[in-house]
Chains A and B, each alone.
Chain A
Amino acid sequence: MMQVISLLVENKPGALLRVTGLLSARGYNIESLTVARTLDPELSRMTIGVDVEERLRAQVIKQMNKLINVLQATDMTDGRSICREMVLLKARTRQESRTALVKEVEIFGARVVDTSTDGFVIEATGDPEKLDEFIGVMRSYGEIEVARSGAVAISLESKKLRLQPPVPTRASGSLAGNGVLNG
C-alpha cells in the first residue's frame, strides 16, 4: 500500500541520500518525492510516496526518526492530512476539439497556462488520484505529455515537534591549549 511520509530534515549535504538510502536498502521503490526549504532555511520538508508493506510501515518511520538529520518523520497515511500534487500537461489537440478540451479543463478546476495552434499547456493541482483521472480525460483528446510534481502533504493534526536541546561536550570544562594547530 502506498505510504505517504512527511519529513522535516536538516538542510545538510547527504540528508536526502540518508533518507532515500534507507528506503532503497530495504528494496522499496520511491513513487514520488518532493523536497523544498521550509520557513526556516536550515530545514527542508520532504514528502515521500513509497510502497511499503502494511506491517513494516511503523518500522520505516522509526528508522527514519533515527537518522540524525531527520527532525521528524510522520506517517501521513493514517492521520488526517491534506495531500496535493501539481501537474503540467501539454495536450496536442485537433482544431475541432479545442473548445471541448478547455471546457473539461474548467470542470476540473485546472487552467490553461499556454496556448498555441498545436494545443495547450495546462496546469492542474489536486489530490493525486484526482489528477490521475484528469490525465486520463486529457488523454482521450489526443497525445499528451505530463510532468508531475509529486505529492506534498500537510497534517491536520497538531503534532508537537520535539527538538533535542544541546548537550555539553566532554571537552567543556577543561581548557585546551590555544596554540595554532594544523588540522
Chain B
Amino acid sequence: MLLECMVQEGVDCFFGYPGGVTLPFYDALYDHPIRHVLVRHEENACFAAEGYARATGKVGVCCATSGPGATNLITGLVDSMMDSIPIVALTGQVHSSLIGSDAFQEADTFGITRSCTKHNYMVKNIGELAQIVHEAFYVAASGRPGPVLVDIPKDVFQAMGHYTPVHSIHLPGYKVFTEGHAGQIRRAAQMIWEAERPMFYAGGGIIAAGASSELQELVELVDAPAVTTLMGLGAMPSGHPNFISMPGMHGSYAANMGLTQADLLIALGVRFDDRVTGRLAAFAPRAKVIHVDIDPAEIGKNRHPDVPIVGDVKRVLQKLNRIVEELKPAEEPRNAAPRRAWMHQVRSWKEEFPLAPVTSDTEIKPQHLMSEIDRVSGGKAIVTSDVGQHQMWAAQLIRFDQPRLWINSGGLGSMGFGLPSAIGAQFARPGSLVISLVGDGGFQMAIPELATIASYGLPVKIVVMNNGYLGMVRQWQDLFYNNRLSSVTLDCFPDAEKLAGAYGFKGRTVSQPHELAAAIDECIAEPGPYLLNVKVSPFENVYPMVPAGGAISEMVMGPPQPAVVK
C-alpha cells in the first residue's frame, strides 16, 4: 500500500537500506516497478534523496529501518531542513505492541525527528497509512519545502488493506502563502523605480519556486546588478551582463560593495543568512529592503524590510514584473542617469577585482582545478560539493547557467554530502554530466558509496580536491589561531587508482599543473565512473574573506599582506 501511495505521488526511484522491521515493505518491493537504490549507509540515503530532489525539484524519498537506521538519517534531515529541500523519509518502527519496551532496534524516531523535520508522523494503523503518506508528500513539497518523516510500525507494514485513493488533504493549520499582497507588490514596483542604486539579492527560494526566468526578466526590465547567494547560484546565467556573483563571507568585492552601497535591496527568496550578511548592523546600511519570501517567519527575522511580501516568489514576480513594466515609460527616465552610473560602477568593481583563478607552474592551485572543471562544464554540468574551501572556490569560479546544477550543502554544511548527492542527481538526470567535487576530508566520509556507484555503474565523475588538510578549518587556524594546526592534517589518503580499481572503475592521481587539463579530459571522457584525485597546494586560503563578525565591506582581499579595503 505504501508503494501504491508512492506510485500515486510520482515516485520513480528512492534510496534506502533495509532492516528487520521493514522486511514486509522490502518484500513488496521485490516485484514492484519502483526502483529502490541500495546505498551503503542510511545517512547517504537521505543525502542521495536530497541530490535527487535538488536536481529535479521533485520530492526525494529515502527509507531506513527502525533504531540505528532511523537515527542515521538525522544529518540528512537537518540538512534538507536548512536548505528547504523536499524530502519524504520513511522509517520502520518496531511492532506497535513493543513500542516503549526498549525492544531490539527501537528508537523514539518520532520524538527524535520532531525538531529536524518540517513535520513528522507515526502511523498507528493501516487505515490511516495512505492519508498520512499523501499528506507527507504534500507538506514536503508545498510552501517552503522541507523534510517530512513517516514512522511506520512493523505491524502496519504487515497489515493487509485496500488502497483507497485519497482525494483531499485537510490540514486546517497549515497555511501555504502563494499570492503576495497586491498593494505591497505595487509599492515594491514604485520603490524599484524610485531607487538610484537598486540591487537584486536572490537566493535558494528562486530555485525552489522555479522562478529564474521571472527573476531574469525583472533584472533586465530594471537593468540593475544582481547577486545570487550560494543557494541561488544558477538562478541567473553566469554570463548574464547584470549578474555579479555570490556575496558574503567569500563573496566577490563587487557583490559585497554593491550590497553595501545600494539604496534598495530587492531580496527574493533569501533569508539574510549570517554567511551573507556578516555583521548584520553593517549590512546594506544605506538600503531600503523589499523582501519576498514564502515563509512569513523569514520576513523581519534578521532584517526588517520596508516592503514585506509573503508569497511564492514566482507568482509575486509575475505580478511585480507586469507593474514594473507598466510603470517603466513614466518612471524610468527620472533616475536613469544615476542608475546607469550605478550599474557601471558595480560592473567596474567586478572588472577591477575579479574572482580570477590563480595558477602556478609548480603546483596545482585549487583555483586552477576549479577553472578546469568550469572549462569542461561550460556552465552546464551538475556539480555537487561538500562543505569547505573547495565549495567556496567552486561557487566563485565554476559557472552555472541554469538552476539545479549546483548542488551543495549550504545551510548545514555537511561533510560527506557531495558523493551521495551526486548519486541521487545522477539517478534523477541519467543523461547529464554529474561531477562530484569533494575535498579529501568529505570524500573519506563518503567512501562506502563508491560501492553504490560501482554497483549501479553510475557515470559520476568524482574529483577530489586533495590538499591534505581539512582546508577551511586549517585556514581559520592559520588566520585566527596563530597557525597552530590542531587535528586538521589528513596525511593518509588512499591511492586513487587502486581504490577505484578495487571497486572496478578507473582512478588516477595528478599533482602537476601541466597534467591537469588532460587528466580532467580523461576523467570526463570515461563512459563510467572515474575517481580523479587532484593534489593541490596545501596552504592556499580562500579569498576574499570577511572575518566572522565583520562587515561585508571589510573584506580581506588576499595574502600575504592583507589589504583591507574600506
Q: Which of A107-147 contact B (CB under 8 A)?
A: none
A109 to chain B, nearest CB (A): 38
A171 in contact with B157 (CB, 8 Å)? no
Interface residue tally of chain B, by bracket? 35 or more
User: Considering the chains assembled together, what is the distance between the CA atoms of A172 and B114 in angstroms?
Assistant: 29
A176 contact from B8, B159, B160, B301, Cβ within 8 A: B8
Q: In the complex, A70 Cα to B166 Cα: how many Å?
A: 23
Give the chain A neighbours of B476 by CB distance below 8 A.
none
Cα separation A37 to B245 with both chains bound (whole Å): 53
A14–B110 contact, CB under 8 A?
yes
Q: Is the CB of A182 within 8 A of B28?
A: yes
Minimum CB–CB distance from A69 to chain B (whole Å) comes to: 6
Contact status A176-B7, CB under 8 Å = yes
Which candidate, A56-64, A74-82, A92-100, is the interface stretch facing chain B?
A56-64
Give the CA-CA distance A72 to B166 in the complex, in Å: 26
Stretch of A45-53, A83-91, A149-157, A159-167 on the interface side: A159-167
Q: Known A14-B110, A164-B174, A183-B2; judge A169-B163 contact (CB<8 A).
A: no
Question: Separation in Å of the A22 CB from the closest CB of chain B?
Answer: 8
Contact with B along A164-181 (1 / 0, CB 8 A): 111111111011111111
Contact: A171 with B126, CB < 8 Å?
A: no
B4 A177 Cβ-Cβ under 8 A: yes
Asked if A183 and B161 sit within 8 Å, CB to CB, the answer is yes
CB of B295 closer than 8 Å to a CB of A: yes
Cα distance, A183 to B157, chains bound together (Å):
4
Q: Given contacts A65-B296, A69-B173, A181-B4, is CB(A170)–CB(B10) below 8 Å? A: yes
Bound form: Cα–Cα A60–B233 in Å: 31
User: With an 8 A cutoff between CB atoms, is A30 at the interface?
Assistant: no
Q: Is the CB of B115 within 8 A of A21?
A: yes
Taking CB atoms, residues of chain A closer than 8 Å to B300 are 58-59
- Whether B137 pairs with A170 at a CB distance below 8 angstroms is yes
Beyond A21-B115, A66-B295, A168-B167, is A183–B129 a contact (Cβ under 8 Å)? yes
Assess A170 versus B9: contact at CB under 8 Å? Given A14-B114, A175-B165. yes
**Chain B residue at smallest Cβ distance from A15:** B173
Q: State in angstroms the CA–CA spacing of A179 and B162 once bound together.
A: 6
Instruction: Check if A167 sits within 8 Å of B138, measured CB to CB.
Output: yes
**Smallest Cβ distance from A171 to chain B, in angstroms?**
4
A25-B115, A68-B173 as given contacts; A182 in contact with B167, CB under 8 Å: no
**Given A65-B175, A68-B174 in contact, is the A171-B161 Cβ separation under 8 Å?**
no
**Interface readout for A1-26 with B: 1 if CB under 8 Å, 0 if not?**
00000000110011001100100010
Which one, A70, A168, A181, contacts B161 given CB within 8 A? A181
The answer to whether B111 and A17 touch across the interface, beta carbons within 8 angstroms, is yes
Of chain B, the residue at the smallest CB distance from A60 is B297
Task: Give complex CA distance A31, B2 in Å.
Answer: 43
Contacts of A167 on B, CB cut-off 8 Å?
138, 168-170
The smallest beta-carbon distance between A174 and chain B, in angstroms, is: 7
Whole-angstrom distance from the CB of B278 to the nearest CB of chain A? 20
Report chain A residues within 8 Å CB of B168. 166-169, 172
In this complex, what residue of B is CB-closest to A162? Answer: B175
Identity of the chain B residue whose Cβ is nearest the Cβ of A24 in the assembled complex: B115
Note all chain A residues with C-beta closer than 8 A to B288: none
Of the candidates A18, A165, A172, the one whose C-beta lies within 8 Å of that of B167 is: A172
A105 within 8 A of B: no
Contact B169 A166 (CB under 8 A): yes
Which of the residues A166, A170, A172, A183 comes within 8 Å of B156, measured between beta carbons? A183
Cα of A171 to Cα of B4 in the assembled complex, Å: 10
B173 touches A70 (CB 8 A): yes
User: Is B174's CB under 8 angstroms from A182's CB?
Assistant: no
In the complex, which residues of chain B have a beta carbon less than 8 angstroms from the beta carbon of A176? 4, 7-8, 163, 165
Query: B152: shortest Cβ distance to chain A, in Å?
Result: 7
Is B172 a contact partner of A18 (Cβ separation < 8 A)? no
Residue A33 at the chain B interface, CB threshold 8 Å: no
Interface hub of A10, A171, A176 (most chain B Cβ within 10 A): A171
Tell me which of A162, A164, A172 contacts B165 (CB under 8 A): A172
Q: How far is the CA of A165 from the CA of B176 in the complex (A)?
A: 11
Docked Cα-Cα span, A58 to B298, in Å, equals: 11
Q: Tell which of B8, B25, B111, B171 touches A68, judged by Cβ atoms closer than 8 Å.
A: B171
Q: Are B162 and A163 in contact (CB under 8 A)?
A: no
Tell me whether B160 and A62 are in contact (CB under 8 A).
Answer: no
* Minimum C-beta distance from B154 to chain A (A): 9
Question: Which B residues lie within 8 Å of A35 (CB)?
Answer: none
**A178 to B, closest residue via Cβ:** B162
Interface residue B119 (Cβ < 8 Å from any Cβ of A):
yes
With A166-B168, A171-B8, A174-B8 in contact, do A180 and B134 touch (Cβ < 8 Å)?
Answer: no
Closest 9 CB pairs of A and B: A171-B8, A172-B167, A62-B297, A166-B170, A163-B172, A166-B168, A71-B173, A183-B157, A181-B1
Interface contacts beyond A68-B118, A183-B158: sample of 15 additional A-B pairs, CB < 8 Å, sorted by A? A17-B114, A58-B300, A66-B295, A69-B173, A164-B171, A164-B172, A168-B167, A168-B169, A169-B138, A170-B9, A171-B8, A176-B8, A180-B162, A183-B24, A183-B126
List chain B positions with a Cβ less than 8 A from chain A.
Answer: 1-5, 7-10, 24-25, 28, 110-111, 114-115, 118-120, 122, 126, 129, 134, 137-139, 152, 156-176, 295-297, 300-301
